[in-house]
Amino acid sequence: MLNKLKIDTKEFQSHSGEQYKEKTIQNWSADPCGSNYSEKAFLSREYFDEIEKHRYETHPWILKAIQSFDLTGKNVLEIGCGMGTDHLSLARRGGVMHGIDLIPKNIEITRERFRLFDKETRLTQGDAENLPYPDNSMDFVYSFGVLHHSPDTEKTINEIHRVLKPGGQCYVTVYHKHSIFFWWTTFLWNFILRGGWRQRTLQEQLSLIEYPNHNPDLVTRLYRKKEFKNYFKPFSRVNASIQHLIPADMAHLDSLFRNPLKPTPALNRLGQWFGWYIAIRAIN
């Protein structure tokens, strides 16, 4: 039982090969993250509008952060552009957009989204551990909920530092270990009370929170705030905050709320300590 409780935030050597990355591409291509939040015609303008509406109604702090960035005329790189929701919001801030994603299907979707909304971006299918950009080439790097899936998260952060110009900034989020979603929903409710421990390890239980939700081998790390902040030591200034707690993050208790997907003032305050994301804003 003790072996099943291990959460590995340091070593994923067994996941570091090309075979693992190919499997990851296959799994995420089958069900792109966020693709199920609209019933409109797939890849239509109305479809993308609904996807965006859902994202920023459930995660308003993301849009608030993006709207605080001064990106006019700046080279902006997003690592893990997904379906292009944040990528488009960053473009609307005036950024000269670049995007990289391991999943070819995500590149196709984001490219079509930008065509529909008459925006420009340069998209590359590639690996965040080996960014195909020159040193000191970017003014701003953005990555939301991506780097905790990398077999070598620390290397991806070193790559961000490398491609950023002196004085350039980054905004990066990863999963927070001391969160209500992990300890209450994933660990206590799904792993202990619902008997997940009988079939899988806690690490595998954690991996099942992700799309496509049937891959227990997906690299999914959790970090303590101080632990993750330490990865940014090469940067000149680093600010770390905790974000995001909505009723839907609290299994069984979400039924007490009229709209489990809507943030509340009380949960927003609690989320500053026990939210699901660590958000780093750093200056190179």
Q: 167: domain CATH number?
A: 3.40.50.150
What is the DSSP annotation of 99-130?
Answer: EEES-HHHHHHHHHHHHHTT--EEEEE--GGG
Tokens of residue 130, six digits: 């080996």
> What is the tally of structural domains in the chain?
1
Q: How far apart are CA 95 and CA 121, in angstroms?
A: 9
Full residue range of the structural domain in which residue 171 is found: 3-283
pLDDT at 239: 98
pLDDT per residue over 164-211, tens digit each? Answer: 999 999 999 999 999 999 999 999 999 999 999 999 888 888 888 875
The beta strands (E) that lie in 85-225 are given as 96-101, 121-125, 138-144, 164-175
- Rounded mean pLDDT, 87-110: 96
- Residue 110 pLDDT greater than 60, yes or no: yes
Residue 12 pLDDT level (bands cut at 50, 70, 90): very low
Would you say 110 and 86 are in contact if contact means Cβ atoms under 8 Å apart?
no
pTM of the model: 0.91
Residue 82's Cβ-count burial label (10 Å; 0-12, 13-18, 19+) is buried
